[in-house]
Amino acid sequence: MYADRATDSMRTAIDETNRRRARQTAYNEEHGITPQSIVKQIDQILSSVYERDYLTPAPERGTAERFRTQAELDAHVQSLKEQMKAAAADLDFEKAAALRDRMRALRGAETGFPRVAEGRS
């Protein structure tokens, strides 16, 4: 801590830190523990971050050969909607978002126009 003078609250905090340090040191000596820093390679840390951020998108499938009628398309979109709601209820928001995007792509293919993000300017 840096200050021009030590306040009562600073002294209290420092005293508490010293008390805890002494207690930890006594415990370590009693149990033969030598404190050591954690040693990790930087690439281990970064690879775990990359793995969490990585998502493989599902391959796009053509809709022309899949749906022969509008009723088939509507039934499939309704099925996706139910799956999306179930995924959201299970707090699997990534799956729910992927299903939502798939529904939007199908609806865009239905009209022949690409789907534009809603609510964005």
Predicted confidence at residue 56, as pLDDT, reads 56
pTM recorded for the entire structure: 0.40
Residue 32 has pLDDT above 60, yes or no: yes
Which residue matches tokens 């493989």?
A: 56
Q: What is the mean pLDDT of residues 25-49?
A: 81
Provide the angle, in degrees to the nearest 10, between the axes of the packed helices 93-111 and 70-89: 160
Res 51 pLDDT > 70: no
| CA angle at 37 for the pair 34 and 38, rounded to the nearest 5° | 125
Question: Which comes out higher in pLDDT, residue 103 or 27?
Answer: 27
State the residue for tokens 């899949």: 66
pLDDT the model gives residue 111: 59
Query: What pLDDT, in 10s, does the model give residues 56-74?
Result: 555 555 544 467 888 888 8
pLDDT band at 107 (very low <50, low <70, confident <90, very high): confident
Q: For residue 69, what pLDDT is reported?
A: 84
Q: What pLDDT, on the 0 to 100 scale, is given for residue 120? A: 46
State the pLDDT confidence band at 115, using cuts at 50, 70 and 90: very low
Write the CA distances from 42 to 33, 35, 38, 47, 49, integer angstroms. Answer: 26, 21, 12, 9, 11
pLDDT given for residue 16 in this prediction: 97
